[in-house]
Structure 1
């Protein structure tokens, strides 16, 4: 058996706030997990995102330090329609999350928007035009 990507892990400052963001984005992450040591979401198409609180990271690696500077990861989520891109963007911004780029019709043929998650990660969502 070869190697394959299973999970993208995101270390988060506040697990509850991070899960709130991704629930608003549309991931059906069950409630009641805000104080866990790790939460993993697996989509119907097989990708997984793991949310690891900083406190857990420090228990497993006492030398871990929070990153500084610009983020180095961008998550991108597909939407069914351009209208869903607009609706998702509006819900996240109305909930107090910071806009990076308002929805726009990109030259590559997609409706595209970007919002910053609670830990400073750039999260994009898009739909084909």
Structure 2
């Protein structure tokens, strides 16, 4: 049997802030997870999003260092329509999270916007243009 994609893992500096960000985007994590070193959310299609604290990673890889420069990973969340891209972006920025690129009509036929999660990873919002 060939390996299959099962999870996407992110290393987080502040579990509570990261949970607040991803919960606001609709992901469900267990109650009380803010004090946990590792948490998971089930994603559509069977994938999981894993959040691990820096201390957790250091427990098995003491030499681990956060990458420098621009992030090399991005997540994308599908919205029901262009208006929802605008609404979610405004909601996230209004809640104190970092907006990177305000919503725009992309040449490839989608309404698109980019946020940064608390650790600087790109999180895109998109919907087909009508």
Q: TM-score, normalised by structure 2?
A: 0.94
What is residue 36 of structure 1 aligned with on the other side? Answer: 36
What is residue 99 of structure 2 aligned with on the other side? Answer: 99
Deviating beyond 3 angstroms after TM superposition, the runs of 4 or more aligned structure 1 residues are none
What is residue 20 of structure 1 aligned with on the other side? Answer: 20
Mapping for residues 53-64 of structure 1, pairs under 5 Å: 53-64=53-64
The Cα shift of 1:91 comes to: 1.0
SS of 1:113 mapped into structure 2? strand
The Cα shift of 1:85 comes to: 0.8
Unmatched tracts of structure 1, length 5 or more? none
What is residue 112 of structure 1 aligned with on the other side? Answer: 112
What is residue 127 of structure 1 aligned with on the other side? Answer: 127
Report the Cα distance in structure 2 between the residues aligned to 1:121 and 1:72, rounded to whole angstroms.
Answer: 8
Report the Cα distance in structure 1 between the residues aligned to 2:105 and 2:30, rounded to whole angstroms.
Answer: 33
SS of 2:68 mapped into structure 1? coil
What is residue 70 of structure 1 aligned with on the other side? Answer: 70
Q: TM-score, normalised by structure 1?
A: 0.94
RMSD: 1.1
What is residue 10 of structure 2 aligned with on the other side? Answer: 10
SS of 1:34 mapped into structure 2? helix
The Cα shift of 1:48 comes to: 1.4
Report the Cα distance in structure 1 between the residues aligned to 2:66 and 2:19, rounded to whole angstroms.
Answer: 19
